[in-house]
């Protein structure tokens, strides 16, 4: 009986339906650290531990919310970072200035045309060109300012519909197009002039004040007689009559002409002849105060129309111009009036053995360094005046002929592509073309583009074209240089493409080194919030006929020079080549005669 009673006591009481079944007991593991699940089970419903767990849970979320609120406050009240403004398309553009009649003939008549230009757009894109600037463009008497129609392309280079095709094809290649637009003059054959000359007839009465007419003229350089009256024209050019921008009817017609080309897709205008927008009472001098007022009105119209036009859709239309002999104050006033850029004409005057580059200097190094130092200083002190460089143009002798040396022309090409701002490249300069012989049938600087070593350099299939090729076409041509690893064309293409992706070359600070025995450096770097960042690019150029050691002690972050990389080098360079890693830790670089190198290092 005692045994049975003991068994009954040891039997567990029956389990209720709401109770959790007891966890099976396992023997204690001697290697176990901490409490087991069974040992923790007794604390599950303990009131003390339940209270502690609840307090800790609430504290966790309170602290998390507090930290989140502090982070929000820090974001709201911290000083904002300075955002780098993205430059407009024209501010970093490499604008390729094409003289269309000499660029590419498509129909075998020996004269270049728009179809030929369209056929060569792929080559231009490959060489890094971002903007195409065709000249001549509008129909005119002199291929310049004596315009016959502001809405018609010159039929000598193609029918008017080809202008729209050219614009569309350029945009398809993700490039921009700018055109020269004579803003103040027309031909005597222009409809407006013909109507103005017969304004006594009732239908033409509105055109009477489109031009400046006087009954008596004192200066024959600016006035020429026409039907018993005298009209104002460009100095010494009676074929180019000056428009009267003080007449509101004329302004409306000119604004409509600009609007027409904006709708047709043109991205920018070179405003030609701005000095004739307003004249003194006798017509012999520009009235610059009135001219600046007209430029403001043009700027306002172009911006307003671009924003309102459903075709332009608010795109930025660039306006630029050239003013020969412009002083620093003149450039500032033009920029303030609404010009996006004013072309720096000074380096276009560089020529060996002239009053600019004296014969005793031996090379153009001294005059280039002096001019460049002054112009760069001006732009650094006047940031509102955007730099715009021109070394060659349809009116200037080719660089290689002016400086008397193709290696020096190559050095100037490197220099131009390193400079800040907008760059104009005249066709053929990217391969080092020279002037034609003086007895040629066209101006020496307008020879046929040298594409390859075939007949006429690939320019035309004509037997005896009116636009001749240079005698060096077999060795100096686009196809050959594109195949070479270190040609003038390859240097141009590499630097042109770098300018589109490297902040230092797009908007960075520019530092020109001191002239050392015919050699100097140009440095581009980012100076963001008073701190040098990113890659630093240095062009070291030696114009001397002997080796020169250039010091690099003035370069920013020069302690990093021991890890430099060659970007490109001139075609006569043997010691350096692209992508070569070099150590300039001694803070100097030795250059052979007429040699140039572009290298970079990290700040």
Q: How far apart are CA 367 and CA 415, in angstroms?
A: 14
Hey, what are 12's tokens? 């567990």
Nearest of 252, 234, 218 to residue 185 by alpha carbon: 234
Q: Tell me, what's the pLDDT at 440?
A: 75
Q: Tell me, what's the pLDDT at 290?
A: 96
User: What is the value of pTM for the model shown?
Assistant: 0.85
| DSSP at 142 | S
| DSSP at 29 | P
**pLDDT classification of 482: cutoffs 50, 70, 90:** very high
Please give the backbone phi and psi of residue 99, each rounded to the nearest 5 degrees, phi first.
Answer: -90, 100
pLDDT digits (tens, 9 = 90+) for 551-598: 999 999 999 999 999 999 999 999 999 999 999 999 999 999 999 999
Instruction: CATH number for 94-185+248-500: choose from 3.20.20.80, 3.30.470.20, 1.10.287.3510, 3.40.718.10.
Output: 3.20.20.80
The CATH superfamily label for domain 186-244 reads Oligo-1,6-glucosidase; Domain 2 (3.90.400.10)
Q: Where are the beta strands (DSSP E) in 393-446?
A: 422-426
Nearest of 436, 457, 437 to residue 445 by alpha carbon: 436
What are the residues whose beta carbons fall under 8 Å from the beta carbon of 134, sequence distance 6 or more? 98, 100, 114, 117, 157, 166, 177, 179
Q: Tell me, what's the pLDDT at 252?
A: 97
Interhelix angle for 406-418 vs 488-498, to 10°?
A: 0
Q: Tell me, what's the pLDDT at 411?
A: 97
Beta bridge partner(s), residue 241: 186, 233
pLDDT digits (tens, 9 = 90+) for 269-327: 999 999 999 999 999 999 999 999 999 999 999 999 999 999 999 999 999 999 888 89
Q: How far apart are CA 98 and CA 96, in angstroms?
A: 6
- The label of the residue with tokens 């024959």 reads 220
Q: Tell me, what's the pLDDT at 21?
A: 55
Least confidently predicted of 113-127, 249-263, 344-358, 562-576: 344-358
Percent of residues, the chain, with pLDDT higher than 70: 93
CB atoms within 10 A of CB 10: 7
Q: How many residues in the chain?
A: 603
Q: Tell me, what's the pLDDT at 355?
A: 78
Q: How far apart are CA 255 and CA 567, in angstroms?
A: 46
Q: Tell me, what's the pLDDT at 244?
A: 97
pLDDT of 138 higher than 60: yes
Nearest of 491, 488, 505, 498 to residue 568 by alpha carbon: 491
Hey, what are 250's tokens? 């004329």
Q: How far apart are CA 165 and CA 169, in angstroms?
A: 6
**pLDDT classification of 85: cutoffs 50, 70, 90:** confident
pLDDT of 352 higher than 80: yes
Nearest of 372, 363, 300 to residue 337 by alpha carbon: 300
Q: Tell me, what's the pLDDT at 37?
A: 73
**pLDDT classification of 80: cutoffs 50, 70, 90:** low
Name the pairing type of β-strands 176-182 and 131-135: parallel
pLDDT of 198 higher than 60: yes
Beta bridge partner(s), residue 153: 138
Name the pairing type of β-strands 176-182 and 268-272: parallel
| DSSP at 581 | E
pLDDT digits (tens, 9 = 90+) for 536-555: 999 999 999 999 999 999 99
Rg (CA), the chain: 37
pLDDT of 478 higher than 80: yes
Q: Tell me, what's the pLDDT at 165?
A: 97
Q: Tell me, what's the pLDDT at 6?
A: 56
Neighbour-count burial of 100, counting CB atoms closer than 10 A to its CB (0-12 exposed, 13-18 middle, 19+ buried):
buried
The three-class DSSP label of residue 152 is coil
Least confidently predicted of 7-11, 389-393, 534-538: 7-11
pLDDT of 498 higher than 90: yes
Nearest of 328, 338, 342 to residue 377 by alpha carbon: 328
Longest Cα separation, the chain: 155
Hey, what are 168's tokens? 């569309």
Q: How far apart are CA 369 and CA 314, in angstroms?
A: 40
**pLDDT classification of 51: cutoffs 50, 70, 90:** confident
pLDDT digits (tens, 9 = 90+) for 424-444: 999 999 999 999 988 778 999
Residue 432 near residue 409, CB atoms below 8 Å: yes
pLDDT of 40 higher than 90: no
Nearest of 250, 246, 204 to residue 227 by alpha carbon: 204
Query: Is the CATH number 2.60.40.1180 carried by domain 508-602?
Result: yes
The three-class DSSP label of residue 408 is helix
What are the residues whose beta carbons fall under 8 Å from the beta carbon of 450, sequence distance 6 or more? 428, 431, 433, 457, 458, 459, 469, 470, 473, 476, 477, 478
Q: How far is CA 295 from the centre of its chain?
A: 22
Hey, what are 561's tokens? 């020079």
Cα dihedral 205, 210, 211, 215 in deg (nearest 10): 30
Q: How far apart are CA 336 and CA 385, in angstroms?
A: 8
Neighbour-count burial of 302, counting CB atoms closer than 10 A to its CB (0-12 exposed, 13-18 middle, 19+ buried):
buried
Domain ranges of the chain: 94-185+248-500, 186-244, 508-602
The three-class DSSP label of residue 537 is strand
Hey, what are 126's tokens? 């490959």
Hey, what are 198's tokens? 């017969």
Q: How far apart are CA 504 and CA 418, in angstroms?
A: 10
Q: Tell me, what's the pLDDT at 530?
A: 80
Hey, what are 400's tokens? 């290689």
**pLDDT classification of 13: cutoffs 50, 70, 90:** low
Indicate if 186-244 has the same CATH topology as 94-185+248-500.
no
């Amino acid at each position: 009986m005692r045994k049975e009673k003991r068994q009954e006591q040891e039997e567990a009481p029956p389990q209720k339906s709401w109770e959790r079944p007891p966890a099976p007991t396992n023997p204690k593991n001697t290697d176990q650290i901490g409490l087991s699940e069974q040992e923790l089970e007794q604390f599950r419903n303990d009131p003390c531990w339940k209270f502690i767990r609840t307090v800790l849970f609430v504290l966790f979320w309170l602290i998390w919310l507090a930290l989140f609120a502090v982070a929000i406050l820090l974001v709201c009240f911290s000083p904002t970072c300075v955002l780098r403004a993205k430059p407009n398309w024209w501010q970093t553009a490499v604008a390729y200035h094409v003289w269309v009649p000499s660029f590419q003939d498509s129909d075998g008549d020996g004269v270049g045309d728009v179809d030929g230009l369209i056929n060569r757009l792929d080559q231009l894109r490959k060489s890094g060109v971002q903007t195409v600037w065709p000249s001549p463009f509008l129909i005119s008497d002199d291929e310049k300012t004596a315009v016959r129609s502001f809405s018609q392309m010159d039929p000598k280079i193609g029918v008017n519909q080809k202008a729209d095709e050219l614009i569309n094809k350029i945009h398809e290649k993700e490039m921009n197009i700018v055109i020269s637009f004579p803003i103040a003059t027309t031909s005597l054959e222009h409809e407006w002039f013909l109507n103005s000359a017969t304004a006594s007839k009732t239908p033409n009465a509105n055109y009477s004040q489109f031009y400046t007419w006087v009954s008596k003229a004192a200066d024959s350089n600016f006035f020429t007689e026409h039907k018993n009256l005298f009209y104002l024209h460009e100095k010494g050019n009676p074929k180019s009559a000056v428009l009267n921008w003080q007449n509101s009817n004329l302004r409306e017609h000119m604004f409509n002409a600009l609007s027409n080309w904006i709708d047709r897709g043109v991205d920018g205008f070179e405003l030609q002849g701005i000095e004739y927008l307003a004249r003194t009472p006798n017509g012999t001098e520009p009235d610059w105060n009135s001219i600046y007022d007209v430029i403001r009105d043009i700027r306002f119209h172009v911006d307003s129309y671009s924003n309102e036009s459903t075709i332009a859709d608010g795109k930025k239309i660039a306006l630029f111009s050239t003013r020969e002999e412009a002083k620093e104050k003149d450039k500032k006033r033009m920029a303030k009036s609404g010009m996006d850029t004013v072309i720096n004409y000074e380096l276009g005057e560089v020529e060996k053995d002239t009053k600019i580059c004296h014969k005793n200097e031996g090379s153009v190094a001294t005059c280039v360094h002096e001019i460049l130092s002054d112009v760069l200083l001006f732009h650094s002190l006047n940031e509102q005046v955007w730099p715009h460089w021109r070394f060659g143009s349809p009116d200037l002798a080719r660089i290689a002929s002016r400086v008397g040396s193709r290696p020096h022309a190559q050095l100037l090409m490197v220099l131009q592509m390193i400079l800040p701002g907008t760059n104009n490249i005249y066709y053929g300069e990217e391969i080092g073309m020279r002037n034609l012989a003086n007895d040629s049938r066209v101006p020496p600087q307008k020879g046929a583009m040298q594409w390859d070593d075939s007949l006429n350099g690939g320019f035309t299939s004509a037997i005896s074209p009116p636009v001749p090729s240079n005698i060096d076409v077999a060795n100096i041509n686009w196809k050959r240089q594109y195949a070479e690893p270190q040609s003038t064309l390859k240097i141009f293409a590499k630097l042109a493409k770098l300018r589109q992706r490297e902040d230092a070359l797009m908007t960075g600070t520019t530092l020109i080194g001191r002239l050392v025995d015919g050699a100097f450096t140009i440095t581009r770097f980012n100076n963001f919030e008073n701190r040098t960042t990113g890659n630093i690019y240095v062009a070291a150029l030696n114009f001397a006929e002997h080796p020169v050691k250039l010091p690099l002690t003035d370069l920013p972050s020069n302690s990093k020079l021991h890890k430099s990389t060659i970007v490109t080098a001139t075609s006569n360079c043997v010691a350096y080549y692209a992508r070569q890693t070099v150590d300039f830790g001694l803070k100097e670089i030795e250059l052979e005669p007429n040699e140039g190198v572009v290298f970079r290092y990290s700040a």
